[in-house]
Homo-oligomer: A and B are copies of this chain.
Amino acid sequence: MATTIKDIAKYTGLSISTISKYLNGGNVLEHNRELIEEAIQTLDFKVNEMARGLRTSRTMTVGVLIPSLENIFFTSIVSHIESILLKEGYSTIVCDFKEDPGLEEKKLQFLFDKMVDGIVLMPLPGNDNLVKKIIARKTPLVLIDRMINNVECDVVLVDNLNASYNAVEQLIIRGHRRIGIIAGPQNIYTAQERLKGYIRVLEDYGLKVDPSLIKHGDYQIESGYNLLLELMKVEQPPTAVYVTNYEMTIGSIIAINENNIRIPDDISFIGFDNQDLARIVKPALSIVVQPVQQIGETAAKILLKRLRKDQGGFPIVTRLKTELLIRDSIKNVES
């Protein structure tokens, strides 16, 4: 059916191995090079990746495993990863595991069965042995957004600690003293970091850390909704709140709207992740924005490096900076 290397050989009068050599960047006489290129052009030859893969045991395929495809933070990272990988001829198989640890393992197995050359993973907490499994197989791996303790691995993450620090600092500067935080699950690395930043800046400014103002959610909309209302019911409620991911930010906003709480008069607000969200809500929300493009591109580039068998600098831990968008959701408090 399709034209093969054999057809090129016939067309040019050269041997199969010479064509193969050319295809893999080997040296070929100038004259023959032109001949081969012409043949490839006119016969519309494309290497059969399956045959090549069978010989070399490389699939030119990488797997990207994320918790959910319905989360724009994840998918836009994927989008940038895909762009970079495609340029090098790799195809990207995206799997999501719907935040389910069982599925995570299953999908990973699927990727193994498909013999992907490399993996980009945003791991669920507690599934550390999955990561170890990948490493044991020597499949190149780049972790995203979340780090695993006691495991050496390339990882791209965001400086969550200082992201929180800077956000909360803005609240302090504007006179807030009782600042609530809707934090993430205690077993998620990212969430721990974001909480640490909150605590550190309070301490740096000599403010008391009040445990009743720290609420742990599960990164879902519902818990944002519930926890915001809980915060407002504390005996001495906060004058500002900092919410640490996108979904919980949405949930909080819904709670605020449904209960006729006014921003920033009743409470000042800083949310997370999504720029559009910042503008759509009234008044415009202040937001911590993550550098999704950089995250994706960096992860892809490191993976490509490893796929080239370049182990330089291992493990590479990249820590990217967030951006803080200050809008109208913060009130100045007289102190």
- A positions within 8 Å CB-CB of B: 1, 46, 48-51, 53-54, 57, 59, 68-70, 72, 75-76, 78-79, 82, 86, 91-96, 98, 107, 110, 113-115, 221, 250, 253-254, 257, 276-277, 279-284
Contact = CB atoms under 8 A, between A and B. Distances in A.
Given A114-B49, A280-B257, A95 B69 contact: no
Contacts of A115: 48-50
Contact of A92 (B93, B250, B254, B283): B93
B110 A94 contact: no
5 contacts: A69-B82, A75-B75, A82-B94, A221-B276, A281-B281
Contact of A78 (B59, B69, B72, B221): B69
A82 B96 contact: yes
Contacts of A48: 54, 115
Contacts of A51: 54
A284 to B, nearest CB: 8
A281 to B, nearest CB: 7
B49 A113 contact: yes
Of the listed residues A69, A70, A96, A253, the one surrounded by the most CB atoms of chain B closer than 10 A to its CB is A69
Contacts of A54: 48, 50-51, 54
Nearest to A81: B69
A92 B94 contact: yes
A98 to B, nearest CB: 8
B59 A70 contact: no
Given A250-B276, A257-B280, A280-B280, A113 B70 contact: no
Given A50-B53, A70-B76, A78-B69, A257 B282 contact: yes
Of the listed residues A76, A78, A107, A280, the one surrounded by the most CB atoms of chain B closer than 10 A to its CB is A280
Given A78-B94, A93-B94, A257-B279, 8 more contacts: A46-B113, A48-B54, A48-B115, A69-B75, A70-B76, A79-B96, A280-B280, A280-B281
Nearest to A279: B254
A122 to B, nearest CB: 15
A282 to B, nearest CB: 4
A54 B279 CA distance: 52
A19 B48 CA distance: 26
Contacts of A72: 70, 72, 75
A69 B76 contact: yes
